[in-house]
Chain A
Amino acid sequence: MPSNFGDRSALFAAGAAAVCLASPLSAAQHEPVSSLTSGNVAQVNQATPAVPENEYPSLHLSGFGDVNFLAQKRPEGSRGFSEGQFVLHLASALSPRTNFFGELSFTPRADAGTGTPAATGFNAEVERAIIRFDQSDHLKVSFGRYHTPINWWNTAFHHGQWLQTTISRPEMVQFGGRFIPVHFVGALAEGGFPAGGWNLNYQAGVGNGRGNVISRGGDAGDNNARPAWALNVFSKPDRAFGLQVGGSLYLDRISLAGRPEFSERIVAAHAVWQREDPEVIAEIANVRHEQVGGGPVASNLAYYIQTAYRPPSVGRLWKPYYRFEHIDIERTDAIFATVPNLDGSTIGVRYDISMYAAIKSEVRVRRRVSDQPRANGWFLQISFTF
């Protein structure tokens, strides 16, 4: 009996100890720090300064970078290790309604330097420089150099390789590509309306459009008297959070030295499911060129569809993906005479090393001409933001 009593005493002691230990411990776990004691509140207030008011200008600097390894046939591009673009992004609120955004890129090129043959080096470029005045959510007016808002990918990821799931951009919006005018210099009005949960947004712009080299915008002025017009409308409905669908129209006059002028009309559409389980991005664009004053009309089509999936729980760091893309150029198109066709697949996987860095590996299979063999390549990239 005494031994039995001793056991019970031990049990009682354990129970009492548990009560004493459990209460403050659990309270500390679940109560706000400030509610522990008044003394602690004073300490917390001293240790955590008050949130500052907005100050102007408030410059926020961030950047993106990537390092790549490429194994592919020489005609498709470079091989071995290569530095990606080094991108600096500046965002500065100048007042509660005025903001400036800048994006600078430093791109490694085999011919960036001087001499014969040209030395390798970096090309510096002002990718974007935008000053925007915000009247309200319904109307924001800006001026500057943009990524043309007629393609979802072009404006969603810009030069931030880390932001996009894949290593490569779809070829229809490749840097230096010609299918879609990637840059646009001018003015843009944009805004959004709740529209009963449909969340309709618009972007309407007028600017210089394509320059003498059609892959580049008219940075130093328009090369003809006809401005380019861009309109983009999209919806992000509340009922399908993560979905964005929209369409774009772009009108321009293309003037190239020693050639007749052409009218350009681009009609594009996109549908994006931005949640990562799964992620689906689909875009299509039709580019139509018509010689001014009558002449041949050429119609060119490009589209891609990309899917990715981030598994739950333990597998969340991995994100396998696949993209199919197609470009069909009409051979009679004088503007796109040197733009190649493409049937290509990209399959790969992204692994998030940390919250702000990822390693990606992908295989690209491309066919430029239907009766020619495919060109395959393997690509590895470490991309990050800082």
Chain B
Amino acid sequence: MPRRLLHVDRLIVLGALCSVLAWWAPLRAQATTDVAVVVHPDVPVDNLTLGDLRRLVLGDREFWPGSVRITLLVRAPVAHERNVMLMNVCQMTEAQFRQHWIGKVFRADTAVAPKIVYSAEMAIEAVNRIAGAITLIDASQVSRNLKVVKIDGRLPGERGYVLR
């Protein structure tokens, strides 16, 4: 009987441990998941500074070198990529970002607002198809056929990478 109790105790501890791990692991993964900046394969850029990316996401820069128009693909609200973009790149709230773009178009600074994508697959398909496109994708979704741009000389997963 004492041996059986010991066995049950172990199972309880194991179960509790698994419960904690089951909750903690995805949260931990999300907290440290980097967001990659992905561009159309023909975009002649391998590295952007955070300032470059900010100007690009806020519409202050509209052309790549070679004068190809930039098409900005932005995830719909509540996506992790959008939150990282708002917090780390734009330093804005959702409301401020929307007001910024309404004002941008209203000032006649640009006639083309960002295109909204509703999933990583949609973003990947569009960024590979539309010339000059750029988007932000969860680094875990990045495959070999995507062109990932360095930010301040760093790729996702590297120490000091800012989009996480």
Contact = CB atoms under 8 A, between A and B. Distances in A.
B23 A22 contact: yes
Given A60-B113, A93-B112, A51 B26 contact: no
B8 A5 contact: yes
Interface string A1-31: 1000100110110111011001100110111
A155 B107 contact: yes
Contact of B27 (A1, A26, A163, A194): A26
Given A44-B121, A51-B130, A137 B62 contact: yes
Interface residues of A, number: 70
Interface string A41-84: 10011001011011000101010100000000000000000000
Interface string A169-211: 0000000000000000000000010100101000000000000
Contacts of A53: 129-130
The B contact surface, by secondary structure, is helix
A318 to B, nearest CB: 13
Given A27-B26, A96-B69, A62 B106 contact: yes
Contacts of B125: 50-51
B62 A23 contact: no
Contact of B22 (A23, A89, A132, A137): A23
B102 A163 contact: yes
B51 A54 contact: no
Interface string B94-131: 11101100110111101111010111111001100110
10 contacts: A5-B5, A12-B8, A19-B18, A33-B119, A50-B126, A53-B129, A101-B108, A134-B69, A135-B67, A156-B103
Interface of B: 1, 5, 8-9, 11-12, 14-16, 18-19, 22-23, 25-27, 29-30, 49, 51-52, 54-55, 60-63, 67, 69, 71, 73, 91, 93-96, 98-99, 102-103, 105-108, 110-113, 115, 117-122, 125-126, 129-130, 138, 141
